[in-house]
Structure 1
Amino acid sequence: MIGLSYYPWWLEGKPDYTLSIDDLAANMNNISKRYGKEVMVVEVGGEDNQAQNTYDMLVAVQQKVKEVPNGKGLGVIYWEPQGARSWSRYPLSAWGDDGRPTKALDAFLVDLTTSSFGTDSG
């Protein structure tokens, strides 16, 4: 298996994941085909104060992983979702200052077989 990181926040145009999501998909498809391996996004994160954008990005990432040919896209792991900025100073968590998960994590509840991605709330 090959694990990839995807942090659009660090890219120019942040936090607009739509500028790079197709590049992520092309990279996963290329790597999977080239090396004959399964791929997984093992690190992903979005800005904690942009919960809807992070939600949309996570659904899109999961969709792109699912679309890797031959079932070789295995899944997505959010890096440090509980690291609220208020105490950790980490800006890419999925936790609010209220000590609760934000809407962003609801993206992992979306059934990608029946739902269009984007602003679907699961």
Structure 2
Amino acid sequence: MTGLLAQTNAHIRDAEQRHRDRKARQDRVRRPIALIDRLLQELEEMNIKGMKRVPVSYEPRLEELLALVGPMPELASAMANIKVKVGIAKLMDALFAVEEALFTERHGPPIDTDNEPFESPFFTAA
């Protein structure tokens, strides 16, 4: 009986550790995504107002974002555009690329529906 109890406790501890690890990964990604979303909203408003360049006042938040995300070698060109005095559209494109990479890290790769069309066994009347 003690062996089964110990084994059950070990399984529970393993499951709890996996849950904590998964939650920590999600939390690590959640904060930069929220920051990116706020930045994108503000940049879109600036773009609508006709502004062309990212103001210097954005530098602290962009540095915070870079620190939160860490190095992303696969996005080196996008990461190079996360700076002030760059075009608003260029920064927005870079932020979208980083956000997409974070979503992939959080949820796995996106499903590519272009490769295999869905074929229904049912007929449709057109």
TM-score (norm 1): 0.29
Query: Higher helix fraction: Structure 1 or Structure 2?
Result: 2
Query: Higher strand fraction: Structure 1 or Structure 2?
Result: 1
Who wins on radius of gyration, i.e. which is larger? Answer: 2
TM-score (norm 2): 0.28
